[in-house]
Chains A and B, each alone.
Chain A
Amino acid sequence: MDQLTWTGSAGTLLLPVFEIAVLALVLSLVAKLVFVLAGLDAPSLPGPDGTTTARSPGLLASLGIRYSFFAALAAMVCTLAAGAVMPSPVEAGILGAMAVRFWPVWLALAATFILSIRFRRRLGLYGKLFDSTVGMIGFAIVMFWVFTAIFADVIITQDPFAQLSGLKNKVPGIAAPESPYGWYLLGGDHLARDVFSRMVMGAREVLKIAPAATLFAFMVGITLGLPAGYFGGKLDTFISFLANLVLAFPVILLFYLLVTPEIRDTGIPIVLAALLFLFPIIFFSVLWNSRYYTNPPQRNLYVGITLVLGLWAYSGLAFNMDPLGVWSMEPNMLNVFVSVVFVNSPGVFRIVRGLVMDLKARDYVAAGQTRGEGPWYIMLWEILPNARGPLIVDFCLRIGYTTILLGTLGFFGLGVSPDSPDWGSTIDDGRKLLNLFPHPALAPALALMSLVLGLNLLADGLREESLKD
């Protein structure tokens, strides 16, 4: 078995095309910048008789950027597509072979996009996302990683923890005779494990924690931010002081203090978890109660279901004492999770508080008060739905931020177990030999970057579309 090349046999033809296109792209970008700075960027230049005749140099540079960008993109897609139809990884190259391994993801993505675009007029804000190019690109990247996390078991080429002899720090595309797949697509790491499989599995690790932690942070932030903004006064001063206290803490210092093995013996994570995990239960109980308190049977049903389900999960997650053993969290994981929620909540609190202070002067709030609605009904059923736009945008941004935070934790070797394939820890493992063997750290780094980029683009698209209302 041979060492794989990056682009396989299709690359001999398409690689030069790609290189020329990238070169042209860089040149036209530089030219554009020069023209913009020189003030030659107006759409067109006036001719001698005052009419517009010639295109300005800036516009020409823009055209150059556009065409070379599409040429580079086309060359890349062609290489991937050519690789995908090749019979074996040798002809397909590393990129083509990776494209083949991701086949369930492509299928799922195609299905999602076709269905969503077909029915986009009936899907509210989600459907409107497909009117914005930026939003669509962001959504595609995010869903790519979500589907990767779901189908990770099918995509990986071998067990991400298995170490094969002789493949330590080997370059991408190295033949691995002992592996069931036959190659290490992205090389081996410092313990001779497959970098590609670990990167794919890492997506699952990251996407298991980041959205859930962000959701919990939102529950805490909303439950505290609504009354602080609505009632104001001493309550607001007190909670705001606490929030500013946490925000003034350098994040890294807090992580070093909260996420150490010693601290688990003191029970502080469990106390924090007991406190923070209570908020979702409070939130939903108050939500149902404020709406249905005039109809006790219905209210009792909803609040009862919330309390039973909530306290069941609560006993398992916070204290690891679930009588049925469905809900549980490893102490390591709990520690990381709680710290991330703790760091994120004050930010959410500040946003919610600001939004509520802005919205509480609206007419519909006054109408609700005149009708005699209770304060919690107005907060949860009048103000909160109207604040959803900025909150959804912030939710996307904050998942990205949480991903970065989790990566930071892994990078400093805090919390998660040492051989965990999550991206932060893998970067940490790879950085020790970074200037000799950059590939083990590069793969998770680029993966993390693309996920966060996708989330930011998605947030941008959502913001644009929600402002159009």
Chain B
Amino acid sequence: MGLFVLRRLGVMLLTAIALTFVVFYLTNLQPNLEKLARTEGSVRMTEEAVQDWIAQNGHSGSVFMRYGQWLGVVPGWTYTDEKGQMRGRCFEIGQDAAAAPNYCGLLQGNWGYSTFFKTPVMDSLGEKLAATGWLMLAVMLVMVPTSLLLGVLSGMREGSATDRTLSTFSIASTATPEYVSGVVLVALFATAATGLSPILAEYGLIEPKKTLFLASATSAMDDITFWNFALPVMTIALYGIGYIARMTRASMTEVMTQQYIRTARLKGVPFQTVVMRHALRNALIAPFTVIMLQFPWLLNGVVIVESLFNYKGFGWTLVQAASNNDIPLLLACSVVAVVVVLLTQLISDIGYVFLNPRIRLA
């Protein structure tokens, strides 16, 4: 077991390094750097001035060396201009170059300075991650129980009307990406023009011109209420519910055909007890893996939903960083995303072994 985890950790580390290098390479391509030079310096810079700016700000030279600097295994760059003033990666202009540390990268805890938010990346990202954490938590609280319930209900009597109805619902929900369900939910619940809100307002159940839910989750940054948080959470959860429910259903139908279920039924145990006591625990092993592997998908959903509902979390930051060519922030975002994906893969592998005693690892 220990060796297995160690080997997995090794592969994970290798994957993380390879992925961050790819992101680093793609964000530090020459056209991106030129664009950065023009936004940071001035739009009317000449071609030579742009090249000078790139060289003076440590963006020239081999991409491997620059990646090493960012990671913190290669000494940071320094540059001395004509006036003899030094600047470098590890110190501000005017600070003493000799006193500054040689290495300052990810490993030393220096995530760089966001060119778009004008703050250190660590500060802005930490706050955004907390916001997304709340969203993820709410999504998980809605998604996991609902999908397990749906899956078990449809899987316990395969082929029944309940099964077919719930399966159709699951298929429909997997066919509805977040940007579609978000639009539909907003049209149904959050506009004064269509959907339920005008009808309810007509009956006097809600105030006129008010809507059932809020189409923007910006206010949820400070204060999460059912009113402003329900739609984003439902939008993300809906896409995942169908998938997990289908996996649970498959696992449940398989368990229901096992010998021990038949034995229990023939002993005269009531159907409900058979489901609750004999089938459920065995049927929930496979969905665990699926739920863990849903995290990378949630990440995808988070980006869409946060930009749709204007909730300033991790996904929103990623979009801002990418569209404003904020290289350090984008790199930090990708590190977070990659670590989340790899960690969930590891947890799902290890958890599966713990849950399923039939699997033994050397």
Contact = CB atoms under 8 A, between A and B. Distances in A.
Interface in B178-221: 179-180, 183-184, 186-187, 190-195, 211, 215-216
Contacts of B337: 250, 253
A263 B29 contact: yes
A265 B175 contact: no
Interface stretch (B59-67, B94-102, B338-346): B338-346
Contacts of A427: 179-180, 183
Given A248-B342, A263-B31, A438-B191, A407 B296 contact: no
Contacts of A438: 183, 186-187, 191, 193-195
B357 to A, nearest CB: 24
Interface stretch (A316-324, A373-381, A453-461): A453-461
A434 B186 contact: yes
A385 to B, nearest CB: 26
Contacts of B303: 250, 252
A244 B162 CA distance: 38
Interface string A103-134: 00000000000000000000000000000000
Interface string B114-132: 0000000000000000000
A262 interface: yes
A258 B318 CA distance: 15
Given A253-B334, A431-B183, A456-B171, A449 B322 contact: no
A39 B161 CA distance: 15
Interface in B314-361: 315, 318-319, 322-323, 330, 333-334, 337-338, 341-342, 345
A435 interface: yes
B161 A62 contact: yes
A435 B177 contact: no
Interface residues of A, number: 54
Contacts of B263: none
A266 B184 CA distance: 39
A435 B31 CA distance: 38
Interface stretch (A225-233, A354-362, A439-447): A439-447
Given A262-B29, A435-B191, A438-B193, A445 B161 contact: no
Contacts of A244: 15
B300 interface: yes
A251 B304 CA distance: 12
A248 B338 contact: yes
A144 interface: no
Interface string A320-356: 0000000000000000000000000000000000000
A412 B191 CA distance: 23
A260 to B, nearest CB: 8
Nearest to A263: B29
Given A39-B272, A263-B29, A449 B176 contact: yes
Contacts of B215: 434-435
Interface in A262-278: 262-263, 265-266, 268
B171 A457 contact: yes
A452 B175 CA distance: 5
B294 interface: no
Q: Quick one: which of B18, B195, B211 has the most chain A CB within 10 A? A: B18
Given A41-B157, A436-B193, 13 more contacts: A65-B165, A252-B318, A253-B322, A253-B333, A253-B334, A256-B323, A266-B29, A435-B211, A435-B215, A438-B194, A449-B180, A453-B172, A460-B171
Interface of B: 11, 15, 18-19, 22-23, 26-27, 29-32, 35, 153, 157, 161-162, 165, 171-172, 174-177, 179-180, 183-184, 186-187, 190-195, 211, 215-216, 271-272, 296, 299-300, 303-304, 307-308, 315, 318-319, 322-323, 330, 333-334, 337-338, 341-342, 345
Interface of A: 29, 32, 36, 39, 41-42, 62, 65-66, 241, 244-245, 248-253, 256-258, 262-263, 265-266, 268, 400, 404, 407-408, 411-412, 424, 427, 430-431, 434-439, 441-442, 445-446, 448-449, 452-453, 455-457, 460
